[in-house]
Chain A
Amino acid sequence: MSNINSYRRKFLIGVTGTAAAVTLAPGVFLRQVQAKANDEAVSDKVRWGMLIDVNKLEDGGDACIEACKKEHGWGNEEHSSDLQDAQWIRKVKVTEKMTGKAMSLPVMCQHCETAPCIDVCPTGASMKRPDGIVQVNKHVCIGCRYCMMACPYKARSFIHETLTDQRPGTPRGKGTVESCNMCVNRVDAGKNPACVDAAPKAMLFGDLNDPESKISKVLKKYGGTQIRADLGLNTGVRYWGI
């Protein structure tokens, strides 16, 4: 989008936003996020996001990774080498050279607003839902792995072997690319992602578009760091303590 168009859009949003605020009585919210009905389509009024407090993750995210493996059934690929293994979340260790301060943080798909993986996908398999969840539509994925190259977070992996006994909510198969889908099946059922449930004191999940949601409130008050914010991807996953 050109600068002029984005300016126009922001201006129009501002105008309509003011009008809505005027007409509403105090204490009456525009909307509240509820578990959506099964037959209801997801809407762009919601943008799901996550906040991870690295200082409160005592194990550096091991519990989250275990919960993710259990939820989506990855991590027991017998015939794949270490370089080929599925990686929905990685535990990344960072050490500051100057002070020697070391920390580890879980890094998964950051659910970018303008995701590079979607830009490069030749078939439209790499997609973003209206509610901001970025995922791979494996029905149309041809396994070219362009998205793996394009992702600045190394969030995607490729399935190298024939799999059986997948989890019903997470179909996975040889020859396709996969990554964190923010537990899309759980979110649609009104639950938190599995990693957030595994570390409820260190992670927060919610609607970034709703100013009344807890995540929006704390982000407004204290901010949240994006990894590689210089790329301007407007990630849905934010961190504290990095």
Chain B
Amino acid sequence: MFCYLTKITQSLLGVALMLLLATGLTACNSEPPTLMKAVKQFESDEIRDAHVTRMRKYHMDDLKHKRDETMHKGIRTEENSLIACINCHVPEKHNGKVLRHTDPEHFCSTCHGYVAAQLDCFQCHVDHPVKDTGSTSTETSTTDQTVYQLQHPKFDDADQSDKQLLAKNKTEGEAASE
């Protein structure tokens, strides 16, 4: 009798589990999420499709490779540059406010949220385009000659004091001769 009851409970549990799984699976949408449209559009559909195919699979590798090249070799091309990605894929303002990577509409976060892959870039990098307003008022180049106005202070001062001393001696000498 006891054994019979356990079997019933077991089968009931099994059915319940099956039902749960079935409902869970049907609730899961197999359609990938719609991504925000990029600001810039490619010249032709072929180039766009090639870009999309490449980036879907390899964007993480490309970004990682580029970051090392930038850190160690100072290579700062637009290709695979995170700033270039952001400038094209994230609008400056979305519905009147700055779009953050914490918002689900953010280009990167849409997919990263969908596949539950952690997005670490924006712990350090800025997640939206920033217009470079020029950090300092006087922009000079490393080859600009106008910045090279440095004179050695000791020698300047020495010249000045020598001249004063000479002038003093001269006036004193003139006074003595009179």
Interface residues of A (CB under 8 A from B): 32-36, 38-42, 51, 53, 55-56, 67, 70-71, 127, 129-131, 135, 137-139, 162-168, 171-174, 176, 184-185, 187-192, 194, 196-198, 200-206, 214, 218, 221-222, 240-241
Contacts and interface: CB of A to CB of B under 8 A. Distances in A.
The 5 A-B residue pairs with the shortest CB-CB distance, nearest first, are A173-B124, A41-B73, A171-B124, A42-B74, A71-B135
B83 A70 contact: no
B72 to A, nearest CB: 7
Contacts of B154: 222
B153 interface: yes
Given A42-B74, A200-B147, A166 B126 contact: yes
B142 A187 contact: yes
A59 to B, nearest CB: 15
A34 B72 contact: no
A35 B127 CA distance: 28
Contacts of A39: 75, 77
A171 B126 contact: yes
Interface of B: 67-69, 71-78, 83, 100, 123-127, 130, 132, 135-136, 138-144, 146-150, 152-155
6 contacts: A41-B73, A139-B67, A171-B125, A198-B136, A201-B150, A204-B148
Given A35-B143, A166-B126, A168-B130, 11 more contacts: A36-B74, A38-B75, A53-B150, A55-B153, A164-B126, A165-B130, A167-B126, A171-B124, A191-B140, A194-B136, A197-B136
Contacts of A40: 75
A192 B142 contact: yes
Contacts of A38: 75-78
A41 B125 CA distance: 23
A123 to B, nearest CB: 13
A30 B52 CA distance: 46
B152 A196 contact: no
B83 A168 contact: yes
Contacts of B78: 38
Nearest to A202: B150
Contact of A53 (B124, B132, B135, B153): B153
Which of A53, A70, A168, A218 has the most B CB atoms < 10 Å from its CB?
A168
A51 B146 CA distance: 16
B130 A240 contact: no
